[in-house]
Amino acid sequence: MSTQEAQELLSLHHVVMEFKVSRRATVRVLDDVSFSVKEGEILCLVGESGCGKTTSGKIAAGLLQPTSGEVRFRGQNVWTADKATFRQYRRGVQIIHQDPYASLNPTQRVEDILSAPLLRHKIARNRREAHQQVLDLLRTVDLTPPEDFIKKYPHQLSGGQRQRVSIARALTLRPQFLVADEAVSMLDVSIRVSLLQLLERLRDQMGVAYLFITHDLAVAKYFAWEGRIAVMYLGRIVEIGPTPQIINNPQHPYTRALLSALPEADPKATRSKQRVHLRSLDVPSLLNVPRGCSFHPRCPLFEEGLCDGKVPELHAASNGVQVACHLNENEKVAA
C-alpha cells in the first residue's frame, strides 16, 4: 500500500501543553502543534533539546494528556473516547525510550520482561505459549539464537542488545504505531545503523508507522528518506514536509542553519559548505519566549517590525512543504 492510499492513523490537532513550574507560573512546552501520521508512514520530529519533541512523543503515545487540543487515533479523539477505544489506542501505540539501561527492569530476566505484557493482555494463554512467543519476538529483533538471551538479565546484555529487547517489548502488543524517542542516540554508530535497519524492516514486514524523534538531522535523513520530517523550535513546528524536499531545499532559516552544520560524507564537501551564521547561539528560555517569531533573536534574516510582531503560522510553501516564516508568506501556494 502506498502512503498516499494509506489511512490516517494518529494525529495531533492544535495541541498545547503547559506545565506548572511554581504556584503562579506555567511554562508552555508545546504551542499549537498539529501533525498526522498515516499507516506505515515515518514522521521524524527534529530539533534541539528542549524544543518539545519528547513531550509531543509522550502525548502521541498517550502518556501525557495535553492541556488543550486533540489526539486522534483512527479518527477518534482518544481523551473523550470510551474506555474500550482508549485501551485499543494504548495497545496500538507503543514507545521505545532513549535509554535501554533505564527502561528495562534490572531485576527481571528477558523472558519475564517480555512475557508479562503477553500474559497481562491475554495474547498468550499460558506460560508455555508466552515462552514460544518470546522466542519469536527475540528472533524478530535479531537476538539469535533466542535461547542464548531469554534467561539473561539486562546487565548481561550490551547496549545494542538491550535496545533490541526494548523494541521486542514494544512489539509484544502488536502495535500499529511506534514512538521511537531518540531510540538510537545512545548507541555506537555501527550499532545505530543496524538498529535503524531493524526498525525499517519492521515497517516493511508489519506495516508499523513511526513517530521517530531525534536531535540528529543526519539520522532523520537516513531513516525517513521515504517519509517526512517536522522541524521543531521552542514548542512549535516551523517546517514540515517530505524528507527529500526538507533536506535538498529547506525553506525555514532554522532548518537551513541545522542543515548547514551537518557534516558531509566527503570532507571536501564539508569544508566548502556554506555555514548559516546565527545572530545568537543562545536558545531562549521557554519561560520567556521571544515575541512574534520565537526564532527572531537568532535568525540571520530577521526583519524588525515584521518578525518581532506576530507569530508566523504554518502555511503551504512548495512541493508539499509547510513553513512558518513571514518571509515565505508571499510565496504562499494553494495547499
Nearer to ligand SF4, 72 or 252 (CB): 252
**Residues touching ligand SF4, count (CB under 6 A):** 14
Q: Which of 293, 314, 317, 321 binds ligand SF4 (CB under 6 A)?
A: 293
Shortest Cβ 155–ligand SF4 spacing (Å): 47
Q: Which of residues 207-266 bind ligand SF4 (CB under 6 A)?
A: 252-253
Our CA angle for 59, 63, 67, nearest 5°, is 50
Q: Which of 56, 296, 317, 322 binds ligand SF4 (CB under 6 A)?
A: 296
Shortest Cβ 325–ligand SF4 spacing (Å): 3
Residues paired with 278 in a beta bridge: none
Shortest Cβ 303–ligand SF4 spacing (Å): 6
Q: Sheet containing 228-233: which strands, arranged edge to edge?
A: 93-96, 177-181, 209-214, 42-46, 228-233, 236-242, 322-323, 315-316
How far, CA to CA in Å, does 242 sit from each of 153, 184, 224, 231? Answer: 41, 22, 9, 12
Q: Which of 157, 307, 314, 321 binds ligand SF4 (CB under 6 A)?
A: 307
151-178 b/e (C-beta count within 10 Å ≥ 16 → b): ebebeebeebbbbbbbbbbbbbbebbbb
Nearer to ligand SF4, 47 or 57 (CB): 47
13-39 b/e (C-beta count within 10 Å ≥ 16 → b): eebebeeeeeeeeebbbbbbbbbebbb
Q: Considering only the stretches 109-117, 219-227, 266-274, 297-305, report the one whose residues sit in contact with ligand SF4 under the rule CB under 6 A.
A: 297-305
Shortest Cβ 333–ligand SF4 spacing (Å): 17
Nearer to ligand SF4, 227 or 253 (CB): 253
Grid cell listed for 131: 515462552
Judged by the rule CB under 6 A, the positions of this chain that interact with ligand SF4 are: 252-253, 293, 295-296, 299, 301-303, 307, 312, 325-327
